Amino acid sequence: MRKNRRNRLRLVGALAAVLVAVTAPSAQGLCGEGHNEPPTLAELAQRHGRYFGSATDNPELVDEPYKAILDSEFDQITPGNGMKWYATEPQQGVFDFSAGDEIVDLARANRQKVRGHTLVWHSQLPNWLTSREWTAPELRAVLKKHIQTEVRHYRGKVFAWDVVNEAFNEDGTYRETVFYKTLGPGYIADALRWAHQADPRVKLYLNDYNIESIGPKSDAYFKLAQELRAEGVPLHGIGLQAHLALQYGYPTTLEDNLRRFSRLGLDTALTEVDIRMYVPADEQKLATQAQWYMDLTEACLAVRRCVGITIWDYTDKYSWIPAFFDGEGAALPWDEQLQPKPAYYAIREALK
Ligand code: G3I
């Protein structure tokens, strides 16, 4: 409670500072001339030994004003779609890394790190894979080849991989994907081992949504992580996507949850953060959203092995939310006109 009040006061202070900055032309002029440039989110995060990143997607890269902020404000990017199976192996055995490569090249030019996303996922699979039945030996071979070809291609170019994405149901049982149904739960350990063979240096993650709080789904990851570590399977981190929604409440056990994974010797990362609301947004909702962005940033900073935060694109202009959740949106720290929202200043405040 006390911490929340303190946070709220800090947020009010930060917003007041912003108002002063916005209404003071001389201060703006100075920034424009390159003096007194405020530090970027990336620079602020680096002071804590963390990164601050954004997802991006290839079609957006022709939008120059969008790209200018992507290039300058973040030190990590994740391809929103370009490294997924449908994009990288559109025909069996025929690989196409052009979309992912474009993101990697952009990151190189801007000295940004790249999270590889994602090798094994039930969604956005190519038709050739979903349109027929596979025996276990066939699917094992297909899976191994896909993982190893892609990991080898990006060796030294991505620092982490979401090896398996969204493997569990809400109640902590295994999601009945084609991989689980055909190969059994061991496909996860196999995928990690195959990825590790292909790039022994890259950090290997399991990644999922609705695992920010302690509960059945995050418990399933905790138990699996314990087992995998005990068996010497190369697992290095857990990615908490953190697709939050104002109507479901803030995950107050986030920090404790991050800490228990740290204690297992694992890194954690907030990998796909957005905080949606019913639109239209109003001042109150945006203030609550800002508070949540601040709280989750502070939670990550409080846990040594929480290595960084990635928002799932940075502007409402390119958010996935409106297309997937009817009547919801406004989930990101920049609005559709690429203007920073209260959430942006709240993140800055948390990183100071
Ligand atoms: O590529 C086609 C294009 O040819 C077609 O014209 C267009 C028409 O709708 O669709 C395009 O495909 C879209 C694709 O993104 C690429 O833009 C799909 O419809 C759309 O469903 C797909 O959405 C992606 C979604 O994953 C799929 O589940 C989002 O962009 C992407 O941000 C989102 O990301 C996921 C993470 O990978 C995993 N965690 C959840 C997160 C949000 O769903």
Q: Which of 119, 121, 135 is nearest to 177 (CA)?
A: 121
- Write the pLDDT tens digit of every residue in 79-123: 999 999 999 999 999 999 999 999 999 999 999 999 999 999 999
Q: Distance between CA 186 and CA 259 in Å, rounded?
A: 26
**Spacing, Cα 81 to ligand 1 middle (Å):** 7
Q: Distance between CA 283 and CA 208 in Å, rounded?
A: 30
Q: Label each residue of 324-336 as H, E or C.
A: HCCCEECCCCECC
CB burial string 112-148: b at 16+ within 10 A, e below: bbbbbbbbbbbeebbeebeeeebeeeebbebbbebbb
Mean pLDDT of the chain: 93
Neighbours of 161 (CB within 10 A): 31
Q: What is the pLDDT of residue 37?
A: 87
Proportion of the chain in helix, strand, coil states, percent, rounded to 5: 50, 20, 35
Q: What is the pTM of this model?
A: 0.92
Rg of the chain over all Cα atoms, to the nearest angstrom: 20
Verify whether ligand 1 is closer than 6 Å to residue 51 (CB atom): no
Which residues, 6 or more positions from 273, have their beta carbon under 8 angstroms from its beta carbon?
241, 242, 243, 244, 293, 296, 309, 310, 311, 312
Told to judge if 272 belongs to the known catalytic residues of this protein, a careful annotator would answer yes
What are the backbone angles phi and psi of residue 6, rounded to the nearest 5°? -60, -45
Q: Please name the residue whose Cα sits nearest to atom 29 of ligand 1.
A: 320
Give the DSSP H/E element, type plus range, for residue 53. Answer: strand 51-56
Q: What is the pLDDT of residue 11?
A: 52
Q: What is the pLDDT of residue 36?
A: 78
Segments of the chain scoring below 70 in pLDDT:
1-35
Tokens of 34: 């390159």
For 243, the 3-state DSSP assignment is strand
Cα separation of the two ends of the chain: 21
210: left (phi over 0), alpha (psi -120 to 50) or beta: left
CATH classification of 2-15+38-351, choosing from 3.40.50.2300, 3.30.70.580, 3.20.20.80, 3.90.105.10?
3.20.20.80
Q: What is the pLDDT of residue 186?
A: 98
Verify whether ligand 1 is closer than 6 Å to residue 81 (CB atom): yes
For 319, the 3-state DSSP assignment is coil
Verify whether ligand 1 is closer than 6 Å to residue 320 (CB atom): yes
Verify whether ligand 1 is closer than 6 Å to residue 88 (CB atom): no
**Spacing, Cα 307 to ligand 1 middle (Å):** 26
- Closest ligand 1 atom to residue 59 Cα is 17
For the chain, what are the domain ranges? 2-15+38-351
